[in-house]
Amino acid sequence: MYLALKPDQIHTILHLSEKFSVSRNHLMKVVNKLSSLGYVDSIRGREGGIRLARQSTAIRIGDVVEDMEQTLEIVDCSADGGCVLLPACKLKHALREATRAFIRCLNDYTLADLVANDKQLLKLVG
């Protein structure tokens, strides 16, 4: 969201980690993945940093969640999970359907939608 608020600037990991009190190492891992997925451009060098790789209007929130998470399964319904109900269980279907609805709902929003109150957000983050 911060990158979308200041799209014409290049931001450093250090600056972002300090501003949002997030571990620099953790943020580096997140940015690395976002970069490999094409959401963020990473610029190397002394004047380097990160910025959005796409327009904020083209980044759907559900897509980002799906891309960033290894799994969205609420429970492990795999055969090796040891659940005796697995062959007849309807819960796994309900949970899968709920997860699809969750992603559909998130995909109704773009990054631009989340920063539409940019003046208020900019006051909070400077």
Which residue, 12, 95, 14, is CA-closest to 50?
Answer: 12
Q: What is the per-residue pLDDT across 39-97, written as a single tens digit (0 to 9) for each?
A: 999 999 888 999 999 999 999 999 999 999 988 888 877 666 677 887 888 988 899 99
Residue 78 DSSP one-character state: S
The per-residue pLDDT for 106 is: 98
Q: How far apart are CA 106 and CA 114, in angstroms?
A: 11
Are residues 102 and 71 part of one domain?
yes
Q: How far apart are CA 114 and CA 58, in angstroms?
A: 12
- CATH assignment at residue 117: 1.10.10.10
Are residues 35 and 21 part of one domain?
yes
Are residues 1 and 55 part of one domain?
yes
Structural domain boundaries, residue 98: 60-109
Are residues 43 and 4 part of one domain?
yes
Residue 16: strand, helix, or coil: helix
Are residues 44 and 19 part of one domain?
yes
Are residues 15 and 54 part of one domain?
yes
Structure tokens at 111: 């990054």
Give 50's strand partners: 11, 42
Are residues 74 and 39 part of one domain?
no
The per-residue pLDDT for 81 is: 64
The total number of structural domains in the chain stands at: 2
Q: What is the per-residue pLDDT across 96-125, written as a single tens digit (0 to 9) for each?
A: 999 999 999 999 999 999 999 888 888 888
